[in-house]
Amino acid sequence: MFKFIKFTCPECGSNKLDEVCLGATVYCGIKEISLYDSGEIYLSYNENDEYWDNVQEVEYSCAACGFLLEGIHDLESLKDWLLKNQDVLFRAHIHKWE
């Protein structure tokens, strides 16, 4: 059994979180290559067919405004941050509506 934890950016209120892998090499399986009449090329990738190598550091930031979760570099510290801030952010959002 599991539960979802919702990220809420303390800066802008967005719920979109990015995982940024620094120094990584990513190998993606290409499914199709399309060449348009305009000369543009488009690659479509196989689902779940990627391999990550040499990830040196991971950062987490808000996808909307770029707010960086300082000092969060792994899933365990991300979980701790989310659990610690979830109630605080939830109360802050309720407070705004009062």
Q: What pTM was computed for the model?
A: 0.62
With tokens 């990627």, the residue in question is 50
Query: Which has more confidence, 72 or 23?
Result: 72
DSSP label at 64? T
Report residue 77 as tokens. 């510290």
Cα separation, 79 vs 52, whole angstroms: 22
Strand bridging mode 25-35 / 41-53: antiparallel
pLDDT digits (tens, 9 = 90+) for 62-73: 999 999 999 998
Determine the pLDDT at residue 21.
Answer: 81
